[in-house]
Amino acid sequence: MKFSILRIAFLSATSFIVALCFTVVPCEAQNPTIAPANYDEALVPQYVLPDPLVAEDGTKIETPEQWREKRRPEILELFKKNMFGQFPEADLSKVKSEETVSVSDSLGGKATRKEIKIYFDAPNEFPQATVLLYIPNDRQGSVPVFVMPNFQGIHTTTDDPSVSAYKVENSTHNLDKTLDDVRGKAKSRWAFDMIVSRGYAVATVFYEEIEPDVMCNFTRGVHPLFTNFDLNADDYPATIGAWAWGLSRVLDALGSVDGVDVKKAIVAGHSRLGKTALWCGANDERFAAVISNNSGCGGAALSRRQFGERVDRINASFPHWFTKKFHEYGDKVDQLPIDQHELIALIAPRPVYVASASEDLWADPKGEFLSALNADPVYRLLGTDGFGGVTEQPDVNAPVGATIRYHKRAGGHDVTDFDWEQYLNFADSIFKK
């Protein structure tokens, strides 16, 4: 009797240990309940923004050379150390791409639709991502391209049943739905017909194919490839950085596609992917321009305003998006050595578009506008017309600006045809179409 109780105890302990070894520990759940948002302008504190044209040693930056050689690298490093982490060099011997689909009569004959697979760790085929690409058929030579990640999979961007659909392990966005349930679900955000009719190509990739949007101690997606970094270092690349790095790999892959001019590529993103687009454009100067659509806290919105979502709140809900160091600033954003107008300044002199939506207070439209405005001195120093003399936030649906552009669309957190019309006008003005 004694023996069998002991035996049962032993066996259950062993199976418990075995189960522990073989169970995949679930990634930490996001916890969006911490730290309330602020929607009261009266609670916006007095603040002083860091001056992008004064170096850390107090030197005034008065020439484009000083910006390029001294201040820009300094600001970029501050963002790496305090917010996003390093932007890894790509080991291009490991990143491979291959065209898997090409259909010449897509969008009623207006476009060639392609799918391009990127293997981030070739010859091991995992992780990998599939880029959906439309190229206008009515064109001469190569055309500019928008590179914009999507939230739920390429099959959600169009009703076209021939677009491939993939499930992603550990995805937060299409995990528990059958793929056909979500086909075309996000198509209102993807004005493919309009884009192609205006003479542009457009490429989109599911961001969670680059890396799942989960806190997993950076063990998923492309992170295991970043072997040169110490997980405990302040500048260990965080997840927004991994997505941004992935968008650069999309640009690499487009380099070998006929009809696409990668010297005329615009990186764009909505919301968390707008933050990603800004960080990608700041690091990868091959992108000719950047679009931030409703990117909000950690994107275009000034942290110091503490309006809408705030730094403490975003760090609590999405701990993996930013470096550990950024978490230290939750209750002392005034001590951040950078603010988000400087993220925009890092894109200078290349054109940048910051877009807000009137009802999207969570993303702080005013804070997004003020970032654009406060990047203007850098754009001017570099010889551009900057914000074009804009000083006041415009009314709804009234786009303003010059090399820096801004609009506040009427409505909520979204990407609409109105937004795309403005982005196409912006692209026309850059590429002189």
Q: Which residue has the tokens 């930013």?
A: 322
In the bound state with ligand GCU, the residue whose beta carbon lies nearer, of 31 and 63, is 31
CA dist., res. 180 & res. 201, Å (int): 26
Structure tokens at 255: 């380099």
In the bound state with ligand GCU, the residue whose beta carbon lies nearer, of 296 and 399, is 296
The yes-or-no answer on residue 271 being catalytic is yes
Strands 289-293 and 352-357 turn out to be parallel
CB of 281 to ligand GCU, least distance (A): 17
In the bound state with ligand GCU, the residue whose beta carbon lies nearer, of 133 and 282, is 282
Q: Which residue has the tokens 């991994």?
A: 242
Q: Cα 112 to chain center, whole Å? A: 26
CB of 240 to ligand GCU, least distance (A): 10
CB of 292 to ligand GCU, least distance (A): 11
Structure tokens at 401: 């600006």
CB of 20 to ligand GCU, least distance (A): 33
Residue pair 349/379 in contact by the 8 Å Cβ criterion: yes
Choose the catalytic residue: 142, 358, 413, 429. Answer: 413
In the bound state with ligand GCU, the residue whose beta carbon lies nearer, of 144 and 153, is 153
| 43-48 contact pairs (CB < 8 A, 24+) | 43/306, 43/307, 44/305, 44/306, 44/307, 45/304, 45/306, 45/334, 47/302, 47/304, 47/305, 47/334, 48/334
Residue numbers of the site for ligand GCU (CB under 6 A)? 271-272, 296-297, 309, 314, 317, 362
Choose the catalytic residue: 248, 271, 295, 371. Answer: 271
CA dist., res. 282 & res. 33, Å (int): 31
In the bound state with ligand GCU, the residue whose beta carbon lies nearer, of 241 and 296, is 296
Q: Which residues are catalytic?
A: 271, 413
